[in-house]
Amino acid sequence: MIPAILDTPAPHERTLRRLSDLLVRRHNLLVLILLVPPLLWLGMVYLGSLFVFLAQSIFSIDEFSGTIVREPTLATLAELFRPANFDILMRTVSIAAAVTVLCAIIGFPMAYYAARYAGPRAKAAFYLAVMMPLWSSYLVKIYGWKLLLAKEGAIGWIAGRLGLGPALEAWLALPLVGGPSLSVSYTGMVLVFTYLWLPFMILPMHAALERVPSSLIEAAGDLGASPGRTFRTIILPLALPGVVAGAIFTFSLTLGDYIVPQIIGTSALVLGQAVYTLQGTAGNIPLSAAFSLVPILVMALFLTLAKKMGAFDAL
Amino acid sequence: MRVQHLLALVTCGSLSFQPAFAAEKTSIDKGEGSVDIVAWPGYIERGDTKKDFDWVTDFEKKTGCKVNVKTAGTSDEMVALMNEGGFDLVTASGDASLRLIAGKKVAPINTKLIKSWNSIDPRLQKAPWHTVNGEHYGVPYQWGSNVLMYRSDVFKEAPNSWAVVFQETTLPDGKSNKGRVQAFDGPIYIADAALYLMTHKPELGIKDPYELTEAQYKAALELLRGQRKIVQRYWHDPMVQIDDFTNEGVVASSSWPFQVNLLNSQKKPVASTVPKEGATGWADTTMMHVDAKHPNCAYMWMEHSIDPKVQGDLAAWFGSVPSVLAACKGNALLTDDGCKTNGAGNFEKIHFWRTPVAKCSTQSAGCVPYYRWVSDYIAVLGGR
């Protein structure tokens, strides 16, 4: 009785076997089945809701009642070019650009040292030091910086002790970067952003620099190139993909942040805050959707340029 | 956030077609075992933050209704949560309460079932932010006023006008106020400017700081643009303002009693006043959802919420004023001076927060609606 059952496979087992045969023969089918759940998630839940939101930007808000008029119009998108709104865009992009440049300048020597000179022990310490700020809470770090940058805070105190008080005052008296104190100036905001996103710049740079073959650098030296020339013609071009990859992080992170500007800076709004305020009590969803389009376009432009520079080869 | 908002919009749209459904309750039966409340942070304390501040544990023991609190940080969040449903009560401020009533999200309250109703401050019993067409849509919880906070080491006497934060002047210490004052960073602050103009430019004919005609609105913006030049920072987070008064040399700003109490507890030379122009303020109401799953427990909580002990403890905790005047006396946490410190005497001088709408009662030509306040205040912050 029992052997007989084992001989002929049960109908249930037969379908399973047929299914597995099918999947082996039709390779694409298996891939499709595996991809359906994540694609559904990404396509419908993520992209779907994003597009529904962005599509609102072609609607407008009724001037009189404040209700949303669901008729396609370009008026809302044109509103982005009103001086007050355009200011917000320019301000945000400039801050992001300044933060990116500053991160690259500060991060490069650190990454270069770790990639080329540090021994195994120093390298471990380097990784730890770079990653450590990421372990503590984002808000704690910002509030910490607020105390450092305050008028009667640590930086002002140290500057005063070193006799640099007048220099700090002179800097704060400058028109754009200055303000009543560091913590309510663009200088402070850029400093905090730079501190926050620096690890995201150093790590890809380090990865790219490690891949620069030392033989090339030695060859350049043997052929009589000065250190400056070696840097310009060998190291920088080869490490550039890493720099650009890091820049993508620092630039996009700054572009989207709306917490730091609430605590540090001049109180003038940046993109994220504008979107947040407009879609809140104001109920001006069309304009906030129009604002959200901007970082997407800016990042698309940035990524296209980055791709041209080979940034994605370093990922 | 975005998805949530869309959802809220969709639900708003679909529910607005439903007929009004508001059968009033006539009796309170046995509790359902729990009650779900949407509240401002710090409004419903069970002794987790500080042991003395607990007005939930006793209620749970007495009624068997377990209290579940969902905190919300903004009025919009509260409206969105109530639109989604699943809650029994909400502690709504003046801007949310009328929206909830208009959206038919909250039910009228049978005041006969609230035994202590008559103990409520008579000035609040029929307040327009919860009374519509003679129906009460909730039980007043607490109220408070925005105050002018100042450094008492700079001002020997309390400043008697908001002018110290609106216009460049020389302060008693001989230095200019430029870069040493703050303003609130919400668009509703335009109402503070309008309130100031009510006294200083009577020819504008402002009757209500939340109901502004084009011309009045323009004048308020003009004042705010001038203020931009002397403001050190537009404050948003109370903790940041506390730090600014401590470390940044800020000497005067519109503020909440909360910051004043906290700074005083740190022995900082800070005091507050309501200047002669008056001030803006907020008043919150406990309101019940139309589809509340636990109406009996909800009614029990509403009764409990105006218990003098609860009201006094809460006022001490939050820096607000009780809606029951009996709470002002003999409360150990609030002390007998507490109500005065938190501004109980200023009721008549306070213009309670409301959402500006296009159709307004005091101006026949119509008013500037809130969404324009938002975009224009953004421009003011940006220096435009």
pLDDT cut 70: percent of chain B above it: 94
Contacts of A129 (CB under 8 A, 6+ apart): none
Residue B369 sits at the chain A interface (C-beta within 8 Å): yes
CATH number attached to the domain at B2-144+281-352? 3.40.190.10
Segment 76-105 of chain B within 8 Å of chain A by CB: 76, 95
Span B54-63, pLDDT tens digits: 999 999 999 9
Span A153-206, pLDDT tens digits: 899 999 999 999 899 999 999 988 988 899 999 999 999 999 999 999 999 999
A60 membership: H or E segment, kind and range: strand A60-61
The two tokens of residue A30 are 């298996």
DSSP state of A56: G
Residue A9: its pLDDT value, please?
57
A51 membership: H or E segment, kind and range: helix A49-55
CB-CB under 8 Å, B375 with A84: yes
Architecture of the domain delimited by B147-255+354-381: 3-Layer(aba) Sandwich (3.40)
Count of other CB atoms within 10 angstroms of residue A35: 11
B106 phi, psi to nearest 5 deg: -120, 150
CB-CB under 8 Å, B370 with A84: no
CB-CB under 8 Å, A150 with B75: no
Identity of the residue in A184, A277, A287 whose CB atom sits nearest the CB atom of B232: A184
What are the C-alpha distances in Å from B91 to residues A111, B94, B106, B212? 53, 10, 12, 28
Segment 109-138 of chain B within 8 Å of chain A by CB: none
Among candidates B333, B295, B289, which has minimal Cα distance to B311? B333
Residue B20: its pLDDT value, please?
41
Span A204-221, pLDDT tens digits: 999 999 989 989 999 999
Question: How far does the CA of residue B381 sit from the closest CA of chain A (Å)?
Answer: 5
Q: Which residues of A touch B369 (CB under 8 A)?
A: 64-66
List, run by run, the mean pLDDT of 10-residue segments along chain A (315 residues).
Answer: 53 83 84 88 86 88 71 89 92 96 96 91 92 89 93 91 92 89 94 95 93 91 92 90 92 94 91 85 81 92 86 61
Residue A66 sits at the chain B interface (C-beta within 8 Å): yes
Q: What is the mean pLDDT of residues B194-221?
A: 95
CA-CA-CA-CA torsion sign (A75, A76, A80, A83): positive
Domains and their CATH numbers in chain A: 2-49 (no CATH), 85-314 (1.10.3720.10)
Count of other CB atoms within 10 angstroms of residue B104: 15
Spatial contact of A114 and A105, defined as CB atoms under 8 Å apart = no
Residue B9 sits at the chain A interface (C-beta within 8 Å): yes
Identity of the residue in B74, B244, B382 whose CB atom sits nearest the CB atom of A280: B74
* Domain B2-144+281-352 and domain B147-255+354-381 have a common topology: yes
Q: Which residues of A touch B382 (CB under 8 A)?
A: 84, 87-88, 91, 268-269
Buried residues in B142-165 as b, exposed as e (16+ CB within 10 A): bbbbbbbbbbeebbeeebebbbbb
Q: Which residues of B touch A65 (CB under 8 A)?
A: 358, 369
A69 membership: H or E segment, kind and range: strand A68-69
| C-alpha angle A303-A308-A314 in degrees, rounded to nearest 5 | 80
Among candidates B287, B288, B300, B336, which has minimal Cα distance to B315? B336
Contacts of B14 (CB under 8 A, 6+ apart): none
Q: In chain B, where are the structural domains located?
A: 2-144+281-352, 147-255+354-381
3-state secondary structure of A286: helix
Identity of the residue in B76, B180, B240 whose CB atom sits nearest the CB atom of A281: B76
Residue B365 sits at the chain A interface (C-beta within 8 Å): no
